[in-house]
Amino acid sequence: MITSVHRPTIEHLLKRGMRSSDVTRTLRSSDSTVKNVSAALKKYGSSSERLITGRPQTVNTRRIWRVIKRRNDGLSLNKVAEELKIGKRTVQRIVKNDLKLDSYKLARGQYLSDASKAN
């Protein structure tokens, strides 16, 4: 969740009894931000950031992204996975989903000279 700089101010105004539409108009903040802060206030009593729960990512990290991005283009993704000691499918997912790259193999064809084209 991206934190709004107005979050503490929104919380303060809502606690003083101001309506969410008035807070939105006053701070020129988005309506969804004010509603999210309001919902957090009702549910938790505070709008402060919640701790991230769940299992942390261990393989798909920014360090791995940098290594994959700087790799030699002639190297296959399977060899990259082997070097990094992670799964092939994990490397493929990082390349496709996170780095937004397309992997492909160059098709080789024969070179035709002008003399060959004339025949």
Listed range (22-31, 61-70, 83-92, 101-110) with the worst mean pLDDT? 101-110
Domain boundaries, the chain: 7-44, 62-98
The per-residue pLDDT for range 38-82, each reduced to its tens digit, is 998 888 888 777 777 899 888 888 899 999 988 888 888 999 999
Write down the pLDDT at residue 97: 93
The per-residue pLDDT for range 14-30, each reduced to its tens digit, is 999 999 999 999 998 88
Q: Residue 111 and residue 69: Cα distance in Å, rounded?
A: 31
Q: Which of 46, 47, 51 is nearest to 7 (CA)?
A: 47
Looking at the predicted structure, is the pLDDT value of residue 1 above 70? no
CB 20 within 8 A of CB 38: yes
